[in-house]
């Protein structure tokens, strides 16, 4: 059983293939370029080097969020197009869960993704069990919450690129960072999660496979604000 997993949820871009609970290929890029220009060439290279074709896949797993609005749209749209073309099952994977699993930690894990506007997308896990739901929160507030657990916290995700110093200042020696190879890359974890979901028959139909956003985009917020202003002006 071969599962292709793709992740476009954050600034890093990755894809992986799992076969019988083993990762047989994984490619990742973090070049600061838009995913739309890098994703397909990267995938073609991974398939070519592994000697596989997209038609060899039994299912496609894709991280659906939370994460970058544009990145998620690219990943989900691509996965749906391939799923429809090949007629194979689609598997939705929560991106924060995939990041937590990528660390391999059995302790307290807090993945963080840059949500812009001085916030991060985050959740909290302990011994692979979820403690807190996905949410968008200010890094300082999150750091002050984490320190109350009074235990080491392993962190991963591209939110560290902008906000690591805040967590260092608050958590001090309680802060642990995921190993560099998995600090920002989660397609391999998504592939393994995808295999587990495949075995349980947890598939998502094409119409229901959608990005998971925790808040409105900036454009949507501006539109909503204008609509509310127009209503207020009419009253």
Percentage above 70 pLDDT, the chain: 91
pTM of the model as a whole: 0.90
As given in the structure block, the two tokens for residue 57 are 């896949």
SS (H, E, C) 187-228: HHHHHHHHHHHHHHCCCCCHHHCCCCCCCCCHHHHHHHHHHH
Write down the CATH superfamily of domain 2-96+184-224: ATPase, nucleotide binding domain (3.30.420.40)
Q: Which CATH class is domain 103-180?
A: alpha beta
pLDDT tens over the chain, length 235 residues: 999 999 999 999 999 999 988 999 999 999 877 788 899 999 999 999 999 999 999 999 999 999 999 999 999 999 999 999 999 999 999 999 999 999 999 999 999 999 999 999 999 999 999 999 999 999 999 999 999 999 999 999 999 999 999 999 999 999 999 999 999 999 999 999 999 999 999 999 999 999 999 875 555 445 434 544 444 556 5
Output b/e per residue, 171-202; b: 16+ Cβ within 10 A: beeebbebeeebbbbbbbbbbbbbbebbeeee
Residue 97 in contact with residue 126, Cβ under 8 Å? no
Region of 20 on the Ramachandran plot (φ > 0 left; ψ -120 to 50 alpha; else beta): left
Full DSSP string of 79-109: HHHHHHHHT--EEEEEHHHHHHHHHT-SSEE
Instruction: Tell the residue number behind the tokens 């293939």, with chain if given.
Output: 17
Domain ranges in the chain are: 2-96+184-224, 103-180
The pLDDT tens digits of the residues spanning 53-62 come to 999 999 999 9
Full DSSP string of 101-136: HHHT-SSEEEEEEEEETTEEEEEEEETTEEEEEEEE
Q: Is cis: bond before 152, omega within 30 of 0?
A: no
Q: Using the Cα atoms of residue 226, residue 231, residue 234 and residue 235 in order, give the sign of their dihedral.
A: negative
Local structure of 31: helix, strand or coil: coil
Say if residue 22 is exposed, middle or buried (CB neighbours under 10 Å; 0-12, 13-18, 19+).
Answer: exposed
């Amino acid at each position: 059983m071969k599962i292709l997993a793709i992740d476009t949820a954050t600034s890093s871009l990755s894809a992986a293939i799992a076969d019988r609970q083993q990762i047989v290929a994984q490619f990742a890029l973090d070049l600061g370029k838009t995913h739309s220009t890098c994703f397909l060439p990267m995938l073609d290279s991974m398939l070519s080097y592994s000697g596989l074709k997209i038609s060899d896949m039994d299912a496609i797993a894709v991280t659906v969020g939370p994460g970058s609005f544009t990145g998620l749209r690219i990943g989900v749209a691509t996965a749906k197009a391939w799923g429809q073309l090949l007629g194979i099952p689609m598997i939705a994977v929560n991106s924060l869960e995939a990041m937590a699993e990528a660390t391999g930690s059995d302790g307290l894990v807090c993945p963080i993704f840059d949500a812009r506007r001085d916030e991060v997308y985050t959740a909290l896990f302990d011994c692979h069990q979820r403690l807190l739901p996905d949410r968008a929160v200010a890094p300082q507030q999150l750091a002050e919450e984490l320190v109350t657990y009074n235990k080491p916290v392993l962190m991963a995700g591209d939110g560290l690129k902008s906000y690591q110093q805040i967590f260092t200042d608050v958590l001090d020696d309680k802060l642990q960072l995921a190993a560099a190879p998995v600090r920002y890359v989660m397609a391999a974890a998504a592939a393994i999660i995808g295999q587990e979901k495949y075995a349980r028959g947890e598939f998502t139909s094409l119409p229901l496979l959608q990005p998971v956003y925790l808040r409105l985009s900036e454009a949507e917020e501006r539109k909503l604000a204008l609509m509310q202003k127009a209503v207020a002006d009419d009253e």
